[in-house]
Amino acid sequence: MNFAQLFFLALAFLTCTADADLAHKKGPSPQQPSQPAGFEFDYIFGRPIHPGEETYSVYRKKHAEEAAQKMGLPEAAVADGMDTWHWWVGVDNPGFWQDLSKLSAGKDNYTDFKVDFLHLLLTLPRSERFTKLGLINDPDCVAADQPDQFGLTLDRMKDGTLVWDPGKFGYSSGVIGLQLFKNEKFDPQKWDIKKYLDDPTSVQPPYKIGMACIFCHIGLNPLHPPANPNEPEWKNLTSAIGDQYMREGMVFGLNLPETSLIYQYLNTQEPGTSETSRFPMDFINNPTNISSIFRLKDRLKEAHVEKITPAQAELIRAMYKHVGLKPDDFTGALGGTESEPTIKVPHVLTDGADSMGVVMASVRVYVNEGMMHDQWYPSWPINPWGIFKSFRRDFGPKEFDIPTARKDPNSPWMQTEPLMPNMATFLMSYDSFPLSEAEGGKKYLSEDETLLREGKIAFADHCASCHSSKKPNPMPKDLDAQKKAWRELVLSKDFLVHNYLSDDERHSVLEIGTNAQRAMGTNAMAGWTWGQMSSQTYKDMRKPIVELVDLDAKGTPRPLYNPLTGKYDLHWKGHLAFYRTPTLVAIWATAPFFHNNSLGIYNGDPSVKGRIEAYEDAAEKLLWPEKRLGPKSIKVTSSETSLPEMLPGLKKYLKGLDKMDLKLVSFPKGTPVNLIMNVNPKHAPKLVEAYMKGVLQGEDPTHFQNLIDRRREEGMLAVRQKLLELNTCPDFIEDKGHIFGENLSDHEKKALIEYMKYF
């Protein structure tokens, strides 16, 4: 292993010791417990439920009844789907998170990067979880008043709140979406909590922790915000708005030093976003907002016909047969011919890549949370359990093999698949959160009919063509007639009823002008991890190579902003990329804006007042682009940062570079984070060459060791220039683009802002 490989292995933060290159070994199955005979493993509950106290079962019953009464959805299906959404971890994803905890938190981990939820729960008090990380505490749990039989001070479920099978769904950890499961490999005779906290690889803990979808998608109810966000009641929560306050990056990097490059990568991730391509990596740092799920039934009406392959059509038919859906089900209707099949689907992901129907999209999420991880790991471009194999294949990806995952009728995939239709039914049960129904919300709504009418007209003229699922019918051909028809539609009394407020179409980043990093993601392209889960239409749309551009204040294209020169002089070409139109439903409650939550202030305040302040700031910056941060929105390091310490287990692979001090390889304060993070490791030899040339300045290579201390800055300058040249997506400004309302008058902009509060 040479310096280049080590350099980017560290940057990818999936570093491991040489021992970790061994093929990943499966432990005993859950049916093969290793606990001593006669050992009793009893979960200890907390205090009993207080009289009149709302629990999850009450919350679930109320929601299912309301969904049946107001939306005509089957009550039992809604309730069952809610259980899946809240507690199902795809059978085996606890093993994935345990694997990551061993990999990242052992004594031989020199990155300080930690993926250890048990350690997090033990060290971050319940009273600080929302404040520090935006995590949502389970109202059915209380903080432990003393350690349990294993010395663990974990939250405890209130006595009487467990209404499901803990063997299937686990016990609540105290954080909604993180479930505790008994660890069948746990041996009480070997257990030592101090030993575990010092090195999680040294001893098996009593519990494994699994992740459910709700971990990211639970949120604070904008209509009924909690008095104390660290202690919400069920009435203060809603299950599909998305956790706008979660700091996902810092969940993994809470205790890292500021000088760590990994800290800078994680700390600059915006609250309320998720880096869904962190596993598996696509070499683009592209976190995206955790989508709010509103009016799914109305959204499905906007489904579009897409081409798929015969093999994909065969797979979808098999899945539908297994879960009891007809081929023409509205969540993904099959059509076309045997040789040229199609599927009619909504565009689920931010870039419209999930295009194989709701069932497929839903099961994919469970794989992304760690289901069937032993099969998933080999598809990663950087597989930490086979890192040298990753080097040998030039960090190339593989497609996750769905047919193989489905072969065993008892596989986690096959156990998860039948749960998806009811989960989709549950997700159809969310409509909106009208500001008029929020506690004290009416005082933020304008009652000036003239102003609101002007806002509606501005919306009709400049927004509705993309941000409405309702359209004039028939649509006139004449442009003036179209404008009139749109105004009449938006001014109608029922315009907002059952309106998804999006056309759910893919639009080119060249048209929208927003930061392209998420759209440029490659995981759904042919040959990459999720290649089988995207349509041929999507893959074909991505094929053209185009020059990525910025748009100035008038919408005129110009080269990308170059952070090394401070000018718009960067020319870069890549695959054509897209964003689907986001819904504007409840937009007053979901600021900051854009797919990366970069437009507008983040105030961390879930009150109605706090949400309105965030909304008004984001809306002003949306319509007055000159108020945006622009180049100041670029994610940059807050201090000088360096690579992690050299890994002792890898020294034997360092071919003559073991004498080189990696502490010399550092980046100054203010370095764009994505200048470093958006580079494929296969280019690492070119970076080493650039570093050496920068140090040598034309002198004989034999002088390198003598010059390295003296010309360190020259070497790193050359590296930064080469990083820019090799960048996977050198689009650095975060809050740019979408300037479609810029030409409105100030009065029209203010009217539009007031009208959108009614969405």
The model's pLDDT over 679-737, given as tens digits with 9 standing for 90+, comes to 998 887 888 889 889 999 999 988 988 898 889 899 999 999 999 999 999 999 999 99
pLDDT category, 255, cuts 50, 70, 90? confident
User: What are phi and psi for residue 35, nearest 5 degrees?
Assistant: -70, 145
Q: Is position 399 within any domain?
A: no
The model's pLDDT over 51-87, given as tens digits with 9 standing for 90+, comes to 999 999 999 999 999 999 999 999 999 999 999 999 9
Distance CA 698, CA 681 (A): 26
- What the block records as the tokens of 511 is 């048209």
Using only C-alpha atoms, the chain has a radius of gyration, in whole angstroms, of 26
Q: Is position 473 within any domain?
A: yes
What distances in angstroms separate CA 200 from CA 365, 535, 710, one per listed residue? Answer: 27, 42, 41
Answer yes or no: are the C-beta atoms of 608 and 588 closer than 8 Å: no
Answer yes or no: are the C-beta atoms of 714 and 663 closer than 8 Å: no
Domain count, the chain: 2
The model's pLDDT over 443-479, given as tens digits with 9 standing for 90+, comes to 999 999 999 999 999 999 999 999 999 999 999 999 9
- Would you report the helix, strand and coil content of the chain in percent, each value rounded to 5? 40, 10, 50
Is a pLDDT exceeding 60 seen at residue 2? no
Q: What is the per-residue DSSP string for 404-418?
A: HHHHSTTSHHHHHGG
pLDDT category, 427, cuts 50, 70, 90? very high
pLDDT at 30: 34
| DSSP H or E stretch at residue 11 | helix 3-11
**Token match 């009487």: residue?**
160
The model's pLDDT over 115-142, given as tens digits with 9 standing for 90+, comes to 899 999 999 999 999 999 999 999 999 9
Q: Quick one: CA dihedral 144, 147, 149, 155, positive or negative? A: positive
- What the block records as the tokens of 185 is 């490999």
If one counts every other C-beta atom within 10 angstroms of the C-beta of residue 632, the result is 10
Answer yes or no: are the C-beta atoms of 117 and 173 closer than 8 Å: yes
pLDDT at 109: 59
Q: Is position 20 within any domain?
A: no
**Percent of the chain whose predicted confidence (pLDDT) is above 70:** 91
Distance CA 181, CA 228 (A): 29
Cis check for the bond before 222: say yes or no (omega within 30 of 0): no
Is a pLDDT exceeding 80 seen at residue 7? no
Mean pLDDT value across the chain: 91
Identity of the residue numbered 700: D
pLDDT at 644: 59
- Average pLDDT rounded to a whole number, residues 246-272: 92
- What the block records as the tokens of 120 is 């997090």
The model's pLDDT over 135-169, given as tens digits with 9 standing for 90+, comes to 999 999 999 999 999 999 999 999 999 999 999 99
pLDDT at 254: 85
| DSSP H or E stretch at residue 457 | helix 449-462
The model's pLDDT over 529-588, given as tens digits with 9 standing for 90+, comes to 999 999 999 999 999 999 999 998 888 999 999 999 999 999 999 999 999 999 999 999
Answer yes or no: are the C-beta atoms of 245 and 641 closer than 8 Å: no
Q: Is position 207 within any domain?
A: yes
Is a pLDDT exceeding 60 seen at residue 510? yes
pLDDT at 205: 96
Distance CA 21, CA 11 (A): 18
Q: CA 726, 729, 734: angle at the middle one, nearest 5?
A: 135
The model's pLDDT over 600-659, given as tens digits with 9 standing for 90+, comes to 999 999 999 999 999 999 999 999 999 999 999 999 999 999 865 544 444 444 444 444
Is a pLDDT exceeding 50 seen at residue 25? no
Answer yes or no: are the C-beta atoms of 336 and 365 closer than 8 Å: no
Identity of the residue numbered 721: Q
pLDDT at 112: 59
Distance CA 658, CA 121 (A): 39
Answer yes or no: are the C-beta atoms of 439 and 608 closer than 8 Å: yes
If one counts every other C-beta atom within 10 angstroms of the C-beta of residue 152, the result is 18
Helix axes 420-427 and 75-87, enclosed angle (nearest 10): 100
Three-state DSSP class for residue 545: strand
The model's pLDDT over 737-752, given as tens digits with 9 standing for 90+, comes to 999 998 999 999 999 9
Q: Is position 217 within any domain?
A: yes
Distance CA 240, CA 446 (A): 28
Distance CA 420, CA 359 (A): 6
Distance CA 522, CA 579 (A): 14
The whole domain housing 451 covers 282-289+432-632+738-759
**Percent of the chain whose predicted confidence (pLDDT) is above 90:** 80
Is a pLDDT exceeding 90 seen at residue 32? no
Distance CA 124, CA 143 (A): 11
Longest dimension (CA), the chain: 82
Quote the distance between the C-alpha of residue 5 and its chain's center.
28
Distance CA 507, CA 513 (A): 10
Q: Is position 563 within any domain?
A: yes
Three-state DSSP class for residue 33: coil
pLDDT category, 666, cuts 50, 70, 90? confident
Q: Is position 681 within any domain?
A: no
Q: Is position 750 within any domain?
A: yes
The answer, as to whether pTM is greater than 0.85, is yes
